[in-house]
Every structure is written in C-alpha cells, then in structure tokens.
Amino acid sequence: MYFGFTDEQEEFRSVLRRFLTEKSSPAQVRQQMETAEGYDQSVWQQLSTELGLTALAVPSEFGGAGFGVTELAIATEEMGRALLCAPFFSSAVLATTAVIRAATVEQKHRFLPDLANGARIATLAFAEKRGIWSADDVKTVAEPAGDGHKLYGTKYFVTDGAIADQYVVVARRAGTVGREGLLLLTVEADAEYVACSEMAPMDPTRKLSKIDFAGARAELLGADQAAEAALEATLDVAAMCLAHEMVGGAERLLESAVDYAKLRYQFGRPIGSFQSLKHKAADMLMEVELAKSGAYYAAAAIDAGDPEATAVASLAKAFASDAYMQTALHTVQIHGGIGFTWENDTHLWFKRAKSSEVFLGTASFHRERMMRAMQV
C-alpha cells in the first residue's frame, strides 16, 4: 500500500507547528504541568474552535470536520513534538473514538457535537489496579437497573479524569469473565456515587486519576454484544495516535541532541565531530525514521480499512515506544551532566517517553496483540 501526505495535509502540519511553537514552549509546558488542571483553557479553546482539532475525525453529520485518522495522527505527532499540555488525547482520541465506534446514531447526535467543539471533555476509563490495557483484566461490573446500569468498581490511570465532564467506562455484565459480557458505558463525571482522586504521575505533563464507582448510574453505549469489537477498533486508533505522538517527541529530542553536539566544544572541537557521537546520532536517526514509517503506515491502514490494521497499529506503538525511550536516553547522555538537571528541558520529554512506554500497554503487550491479530 502506497502512502504519502497530500499538500493539504502538509500545510495543516505547518500551520499546527507554528501554533504549537507559540502556545507550547518549554516554559509554558513547565507552567501548565504545575497547575491542578494541567492545561491552559484559552489554548484549549483556540485549538478546539479556531483550529477545529477536536473535530478532525468526527463525521460531519455529527458536527465534526469529517477527516480520517491520518489528520488526527498529524495533530498528535505535532503535539508530541511540542509536549502540549491539554486533554486532547484523552478526549479527542480515546473517548471520541470510542463513541464513534460504539454508540448508536441517536447517542452520537447527543454526545459528539459537544466533544467535537471542545465544549465538553471526556476520557476513557479502562485500566484497573494492575494497569493492564486488556479486556481480560476488567473487573468493573455493570448491573442492569431500570433503563440503564449501575457501575461498581475502580478504574486507575485514567488520563485527565479530574477535569473530564464524562467518562466512557469499560465494564462487564455481572457474572461474566474474560472477554465475555464486555460493555462500554458512559457516566457523567458529576454523577452520584462517582469519586475521582488524583494519582501522582511520574510524567507531570499527563495527569492521571483513580475513579471509584459505587453504584453510579451509567448508560450503555451501542448494542450489548458489540462492545469488544468497538473497543478493539478504539485501541487501534489510540495506539496509532500514540505512536505518532511518540515519534514527534523523539524527533524533537534528536534535533535537540544534534544541536547541542554542534554547540558544545571539547578539546577545541565540537563534540558532534567525535566518531562515537556520530554513530550514536546515526542510530537515533535510523530508529526515529523507522518508527515514523511504521506510524504513518498504521494511519494509512486504518483509514483504508486494511484487515491488518490491528497488527500494524500495535507494531507501530511497540516500535515507537522503544525508539522514543532509546532516543531520550541518548539525548540525556549527549547533553552530559547538564542533561540530568531540572533546568535542562530534556527531562520533560524523557518523562513523557517513559510514561508513553506503558500507556495503552507496553511494547511486549502490543507485540503479543500484533501476533494474535495476525493469527486470526
């Protein structure tokens, strides 16, 4: 399958990069990650309404722009490069995709317009205490109650849970195990019997929460038997977008390392002229470019409805995880002693690399998922 960006997509990337350069400098990232909300509401308003980023992959009949996931991937790549602090991934990627894939037409008309214009923020509550992004690990139970359900259980590592207006929750019918009885439900964040508490993240640019459900009222998304397929499709898009976010960050680190190697002198010559650093920079470039190719191919595969989309999305996530972490380690080493200091910005991307390594599942988890998909 041939893949290449159109002139319009390249222009979109250029406009977005200029916007993020102005709105998400390292100084602004440091400022926002120290706040309780974790983002600048005025910037969120701009990227939602003026740039229309939250509406990118939402069908036009539901108030969106009607683009494919490739445009969504370009946005996440540029946000990863700039380390944007905003609930874009949780709301526009995770929750919105889950609603698109799982909800009925009537539910889409109710939920998607507000998600598309950024008026409401939603997130996906999936992982539980062990932090495993697998339906087999879901213990949260949904019990029928009138025309809805009641939720019992606890979700951990919920991205932007403290600022979300709505949760899309992965649960199961009472009395079922494994993937049997899997359900996707939506819960209002301010509903009765919902308790949200912040978790202490290693990466302060990505806020995490624990959500307790003690009989909270929930609405089933879509049909009873369709949740597993919808969830797998959501994870395909999420893994692909996270791969793009990671390659954007890795490319930024690579550029930072090369720039510093040209600037720093030792023994009367720039350290970038030393053979060992040339080899390290070449290795970084190769890993980043290969990870970019995998991420771009995954986006094209999902947009094309390729039957191997699940396999290539997980492969892209696994490869990007390794490439981002390795690039972050090399960048710290090339910066020498200053690379370990708080004042140097490298640690911001290093922490994002480490948190992204396990977000949505580790590289090993996604390689196993890829193998299972290829055996079907």
pLDDT tens, position by position, 268-301: 777 766 777 788 889 999 999 999 999 999 999 9
- Cα 206 to its chain centre, rounded Å, is 10
Give me the count of residues in the chain.
376
| Residues 352-373, mean pLDDT to the nearest whole number | 95
Domains and CATH numbers, the chain: 7-116 (1.10.540.10), 122-225 (2.40.110.10), 228-375 (1.20.140.10)
H helix count then E strand count, the chain: 12, 9
Mean pLDDT of the chain, nearest integer: 93
Tokens of 322: 């390794």
Question: pLDDT band for position 339 (50/70/90)?
Answer: confident
- Collapse the DSSP code of 241 into the 3-class scheme (helix H, G, I; strand E, B; otherwise coil) and give the result: helix
| Whole-number Å distance between alpha carbons of 91 and 195 | 19
| End-to-end alpha carbon distance in the chain | 21
- The SS3 call for residue 328 is helix
Q: Does the pLDDT value for residue 2 go beyond 70?
A: no
**pTM for the complete prediction?**
0.95
Of 178 and 256, more confident: 256
Alpha helices (runs of H) in 83-132, residue ranges in sequence order: 88, 96-102, 105-116
pLDDT at residue 8 in the model: 94
pLDDT for position 170: 96
Tens of pLDDT, residues 133-180: 998 899 999 999 888 899 999 999 999 999 999 999 999 988 887 777
